[in-house]
Amino acid sequence: MPTTVRIKPELITEHRLRIEMYGLEDEDIENTIRMKGWAWVLARKSWAYAGEPDFIYRQIREVVIALPDISFEEDSIEESIRTVKAKARSDEELEEGRELLRRAFENTGQLDRAEQYL
């Protein structure tokens, strides 16, 4: 199973969001993301990272874009983009989020599927 990610809203605070990663089977990458603050969620059988947009953006740069063979879950592309847009705290943060997602989708080969939502 390929490694996939999705971005979802967190309900704890107004601007908090969460990245979930499924299907990661590389122990070296698991150790890398654990050091970056990701946690294993047994109930979901996924890795998760939650935080304010600036922390999530760093994870998009350092994990989704930087690590090999990671893509967005096809059925959650729209939700991931909508969540990043909705949780932005300023226009600058919104633009940064859009640009990072564009780079991430280019990297995963999913830009054509995501472009209509960006």
pLDDT, tens only, 6-32: 999 998 889 999 999 999 988 989 999
Q: What is the mean pLDDT of residues 80-85?
A: 97
Q: What is the mean pLDDT of residues 95-107?
A: 97
End-to-end CA, the chain: 27
Supply the DSSP symbol for 47. E
> What per-residue confidence (pLDDT) applies to 96?
97
Residue 48: how many CA atoms within 13 Å on its side-chain side?
14
Distance, CA of 99 to chain centre: 13
Strand bridging mode 39-41 / 3-9? unpaired
> What per-residue confidence (pLDDT) applies to 4?
96
